[in-house]
Structure 1
């Protein structure tokens, strides 16, 4: 739990990047490659302000995620990224007026429950590690 702030920063920058990309694509309108050089069109998309900002935010998110991965187990850190789905769904509801129906809310609730269970697994792992190290310390005291 020591690195939870970095994990949540990764989640929020990931979600923010998605929202910026969506805004960028909305501002560009329907994308068509007909009659236009595809490379030129891709560059126009990538360098449009919202899309470019979203891609830059993804780079920040990935840098943060790499730092987290250097500190905690992948099986602990990676499931937290699912919270980005939660943040995106909630913000998309408020910003883009996207649908947030009962099925989506149920899915969001399941994601949250799963993330809490994974967070608890780290706590129980630490408790087991502390208990086993104190047991081995006590055992070594009896051996002397």
Structure 2
């Protein structure tokens, strides 16, 4: 549980990246490759300020996730990323005025309940470092 702040940082940076990418694509308008060199169009998209920022934040999110994976079990850390769906849905509702109907709210509630259950399952479990996992794997092979 001591790595929970790092896991939540990963979730929030993942959600922030999604919001930046959406805003960047909204500012670009509809995309068409007709009569345009596709490579140039892709470069134009990637180097758009909001898209570039979103991709950069994704890199930070992945670096954080790699750190987390070196400290805790994958089956514990990975399900927390589903909280990014929750954050994106809530922020998209307020920022982009996207629909947040009863089905989406029910889905968000189920995601939250599932994440709480997973968090509880790891509360008393010892954190398994990558080094310890590697050593135990090597002993099985030999």
| TM-score interval for Structure 1 and Structure 2 normalised by the shorter chain | 0.7 to 0.9
Q: 1:72-127, CA deviations, whole angstroms, 9 ceiling, x for partnerless residues?
A: 0000000000000000000000000000000000000000000000000012535x
Equivalences, count:
126
What residue ranges of structure 1 are gaps of 5+ in the alignment? Answer: 127-144
Q: CA deviation at 1:63?
A: 0.2
Q: CA deviation at 1:21?
A: 0.1
Match of 2:42 in 1: 42
Match of 1:25 in 2: 25
Q: Provide the C-alpha distance between the structure 2 equivalents of 1:43 and 1:89, rounded to a whole number of angstroms.
A: 28
Q: Provide the aligned C-alpha RMSD in A.
A: 0.7
Q: Is 1:55 aligned with 2:86?
A: no
Q: Provide the C-alpha distance between the structure 2 equivalents of 1:122 and 1:50, rounded to a whole number of angstroms.
A: 36
Match of 2:121 in 1: 121
The SS at the match of 1:14 is helix
Structure 1 runs of 4+ with >6 Å offset: none
| Larger of the two Rg values belongs to structure | 1
Match of 1:90 in 2: 90
Q: Provide the C-alpha distance between the structure 2 equivalents of 1:123 and 1:60, rounded to a whole number of angstroms.
A: 26
Q: Provide the C-alpha distance between the structure 2 equivalents of 1:88 and 1:62, rounded to a whole number of angstroms.
A: 17
Give the TM-score normalised by structure 1.
0.86
The SS at the match of 1:58 is helix
* Bigger share in helix: 1
What residue ranges of structure 2 are gaps of 5+ in the alignment? Answer: 127-142
Q: Is 1:16 aligned with 2:16?
A: yes
Match of 1:75 in 2: 75
Q: Provide the C-alpha distance between the structure 2 equivalents of 1:62 and 1:78, rounded to a whole number of angstroms.
A: 12
Q: Provide the C-alpha distance between the structure 2 equivalents of 1:44 and 1:125, rounded to a whole number of angstroms.
A: 47
The SS at the match of 2:71 is coil
Q: Provide the C-alpha distance between the structure 1 equivalents of 2:92 and 2:81, rounded to a whole number of angstroms.
A: 17
